[in-house]
């Protein structure tokens, strides 16, 4: 469906205060540029626009007023126009965190799909509103010649068994769609593919991937080469569950929320703020959810920073054991995500005590390796570091949808959307 070698696939990953993006050449998915607009919604001229080329060279580095998502989207489109690339964009791939039960494949962003996602906002009020707004903005700004494809973080976990997916709640509640969905699926898909490239062992491998960042989760998967099937994961109905994260509490005794409602009179909005914005590492340290700053605080003798780091590492270690149990064993442990990729200190502390699973790493490798094994090559149990790349997974999905011109859950409207884009691209 994409017919010119110089056509671009634009990948957009939006958050409440930032938009990450990348451009890939459609013919071979070679990276053309990537960047981020950060500080959206901040004071005047405090937003940051950073764009780099395929070799990491800086193309744009400036401060700008990014009052809201709309302003950021307009600035990105303006940069594409000024750089001569706006007319090359033939498709946009959007990361969507929550697809609910209906959307488990990359899907054309029709008006009906947008309506369906709007009904899921109460399940993920942190990510979905910004993501839906971004899709609508780029649809308006780029015109009918561009197709928009939605790629869902929840899709990778559609293979989780019913026993892992089901909560211990009454049927009347479960019928509302309350179940474990799991997230970070685009990251897990990339890591499983990349691990298959690095590890040519064709046998079945029981693999636990630890995506550790400001948002953190683990996934238990069974891997055959570059193909993997999700078996269990730590996040649940929303991305707030599982591990302690930067600002999210992770799993709680449900009685805690009942207690807060009864004793402090907290309503749903106040409890959500405590759990999703004021909790986690930020809540424990009383300072920040940024692991780098916490490690600096620990070095300076700050006991609250030390406690926050200890809690984070303990939860990660505990959940690794739980994921290994879901797999009935473990062959590979992979660290990814901002913290998992970059912090040798955190990796070392998480690994402490996992020897009973046969997991050991070599400390010099832990400090030096940016991608690859940090355990011994001859060990049957392997530990890896693999930087994630959600953008390329989205670009690949967009390319597949456009080449096929259809997908399993497409509607007549989605077919018309692709055809209209082709007709208007000439």
What's the chain's average pLDDT?
92
Does 162 map to a domain? no
Check whether residue 355 and residue 289 sit in a common domain.
yes
Check whether residue 32 and residue 66 sit in a common domain.
yes
Does 403 map to a domain? yes
Check whether residue 318 and residue 395 sit in a common domain.
no
Q: pLDDT at position 416, please?
A: 56
Check whether residue 396 and residue 381 sit in a common domain.
no
Does 158 map to a domain? no
Check whether residue 294 and residue 413 sit in a common domain.
no
**Beta-bridge partners for 372:** 385
pLDDT of 423 > 80? The answer is: no
Q: pLDDT at position 414, please?
A: 55
* CATH code: domain of residue 128: 3.30.420.40
The total number of structural domains that make up the chain:
2
**pLDDT tens string 357-376:** 999 999 999 999 999 999 99
Between 186 and 44, residue with greater pLDDT: 186
Q: pLDDT at position 331, please?
A: 96
Domain containing residue 134: 8-152+391-424
**pLDDT tens string 59-94:** 999 999 999 999 999 999 999 999 999 999 999 999
Mean pLDDT of all residues in 112-118: 93
Longest dimension (CA), the chain: 64
Check whether residue 345 and residue 401 sit in a common domain.
no
pLDDT of 397 > 90? The answer is: yes
Check whether residue 237 and residue 329 sit in a common domain.
yes
**pLDDT tens string 199-241:** 887 689 999 999 999 999 999 999 998 899 999 999 999 999 9
Does 186 map to a domain? no
pLDDT of 146 > 80? The answer is: yes
Check whether residue 376 and residue 403 sit in a common domain.
no
Task: Assess whether 153 carries a catalytic annotation.
Answer: yes
The string of DSSP letters for 234-277 reads S--SSTTSSS--SS---S--HHHHHHHHHHT---HHHHHHHHHT
Does 2 map to a domain? no
The candidate with the shortest Cα–Cα distance to 123, out of 137, 102, 106, is 102
Using CA atoms, how far apart are residues 293 and 340, in angstroms rounded to an integer?
A: 15
Tokens of 396: 């690949």
Mean pLDDT of all residues in 10-39: 94
Does 360 map to a domain? yes
CB 58 within 8 A of CB 50: yes
Q: pLDDT at position 16, please?
A: 77
Check whether residue 305 and residue 396 sit in a common domain.
no
Q: pLDDT at position 412, please?
A: 53
pLDDT of 309 > 70? The answer is: yes
**H-run or E-run covering 48:** strand 47-53
Q: pLDDT at position 343, please?
A: 98
Does 170 map to a domain? no
Mean pLDDT of all residues in 131-153: 94
pLDDT of 29 > 70? The answer is: yes
Question: 7, 124, 153, 199: which one is catalytic?
Answer: 153
Q: pLDDT at position 1, please?
A: 43
pLDDT of 261 > 70? The answer is: yes
pLDDT of 178 > 90? The answer is: yes
Q: pLDDT at position 4, please?
A: 61
Using CA atoms, how far apart are residues 60 and 50, in angstroms rounded to an integer?
A: 5
Q: pLDDT at position 367, please?
A: 96
**pLDDT tens string 32-41:** 999 999 999 9
Check whether residue 132 and residue 245 sit in a common domain.
no
Instruction: Write the burial class of residue 300 (CB in 10 Å: 0-12 exposed, 13-18 middle, 19+ buried).
Output: exposed
Check whether residue 31 and residue 124 sit in a common domain.
yes
Does 1 map to a domain? no
Check whether residue 239 and residue 125 sit in a common domain.
no
Q: pLDDT at position 144, please?
A: 87
């Amino acid at each position: 469906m994409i017919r010119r070698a110089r056509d671009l696939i634009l990948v957009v990953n939006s958050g409440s205060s930032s938009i990450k993006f990348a451009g890939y050449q459609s013919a071979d998915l070679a990276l053309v540029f990537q960047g981020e607009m950060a500080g959206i919604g901040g004071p005047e001229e405090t937003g940051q626009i950073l764009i780099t080329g395929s070799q990491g060279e800086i193309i744009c580095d400036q401060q700008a007023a990014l009052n809201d998502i709309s302003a950021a989207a307009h600035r990105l489109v303006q940069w594409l126009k000024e750089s001569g690339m706006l007319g090359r964009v033939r498709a946009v791939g959007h990361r969507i965190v929550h697809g609910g039960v209906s959307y488990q494949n990359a899907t054309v962003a029709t008006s009906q799909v947008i309506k369906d996602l709007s009904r899921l906002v109460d399940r993920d009020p942190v990510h979905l509103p910004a993501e839906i707004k971004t899709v609508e903005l780029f649809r308006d700004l780029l015109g009918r010649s561009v197709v928009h494809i939605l790629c869902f973080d929840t899709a990778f976990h559609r293979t989780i068994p019913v026993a892992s997916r089901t909560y211990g709640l009454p049927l009347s509640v479960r019928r509302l769609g309350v179940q474990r969905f799991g997230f970070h699926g685009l990251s897990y898909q990339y890591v499983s593919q990349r691990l298959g490239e690095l590890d040519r062992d064709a046998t079945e491998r029981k693999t636990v991937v630890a995506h550790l960042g400001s948002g953190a989760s683990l996934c238990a998967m069974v891997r055959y080469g570059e193909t993997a099937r999700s078996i269990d994961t730590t996040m649940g109905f929303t991305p707030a569950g599982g591990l302690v994260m930067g600002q999210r509490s992770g799993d709680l005794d449900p009685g805690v929320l009942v207690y807060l409602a009864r004793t402090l009179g907290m309503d749903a909005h106040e409890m959500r703020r405590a759990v999703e914005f004021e909790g986690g590492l930020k809540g424990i340290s009383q300072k920040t959810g940024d692991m780098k700053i916490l490690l600096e605080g620990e070095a300076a003798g700050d006991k609250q920073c030390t406690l926050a780091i200890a809690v984070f590492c303990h939860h990660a270690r505990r959940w690794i054991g739980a994921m290994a149990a879901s797999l009935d064993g473990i062959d590979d442990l992979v660290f990814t995500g901002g913290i998992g990729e970059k912090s040798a200190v955190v990796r070392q502390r998480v690994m402490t005590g996992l020897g009973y699973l046969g997991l050991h790493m070599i400390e010099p490798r832990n400090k030096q390796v940016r991608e690859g094994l940090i355990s011994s090559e001859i060990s049957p149990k392997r530990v890896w570091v693999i930087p994630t790349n959600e953008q390329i997974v989205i670009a690949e999905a967009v390319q597949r949808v456009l080449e096929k011109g259809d997908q399993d859950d497409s509607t007549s409207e989605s077919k018309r959307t692709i055809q209209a884009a082709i007709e208007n691209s000439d």
